Structure 1
Amino acid sequence: MDLKTLNRIDKLRRLKSKGPETPKWLKPYHLLFFAFLTIFIFGAIIKMLEHNPN
């Protein structure tokens, strides 16, 4: 077996044992994204409620 095949087998074994790893730069930002999304949705709901005359 050549080196490329061995590396591929090793990578597959590591992925199987550990599971796919989230990149470190992504971890803090997806929480911020969800926070802004929820704030935006709440803002839109409030605007709709204010716009509708009761």
Structure 2
Amino acid sequence: MAIWLLFGGLVSFSHLVSGDVTVMVFLLRWNGYLAKFSHHFGPVLYTIPSGSSDWQVER
């Protein structure tokens, strides 16, 4: 039973990490797209990364 719980924890943990990586890659790509138009969206570039880091800390 303990082994099954440990295995389930590892699976959910790896799923959580892969989800965070997917979000991170998406944010990096999105920031890359915004950087091309940084002269239009300068403030947005800085609010998105700070918001995501705040979300990581609070969670």
Q: TM-score, normalised by structure 2?
A: 0.48
Deviation string 1:1-54 (CA, Å, 9 cap, x unpaired) is xxxxxxxxxxxxxxxxxxxxx733302110000000000001000001111124
Paired-residue identity, % = 6
Map of 2:31 onto structure 1 = 51
Structure number with higher helix proportion = 2
| Matched letter for residue 14 of structure 2 | F
How many residue pairs end up in the alignment? 33
Q: Is structure 2 residue 50 aligned with structure 1 residue 42?
A: no
Q: In 2, Cα distance between the equivalents of 1:45 and 1:38?
A: 10
Unaligned runs of 5+ in 2: 37-59
Structure 1: gaps of 5 or more residues = 1-21
Distance 1:49 1:24 in 2: 37
1:28 aligns with 2:8: yes
Q: Name the SS for the 1:24 alignment partner.
A: helix
Higher relative CO (Cα under 8 Å, sequence separation at least 6) belongs to 2
Q: Which has the larger radius of gyration?
A: 1
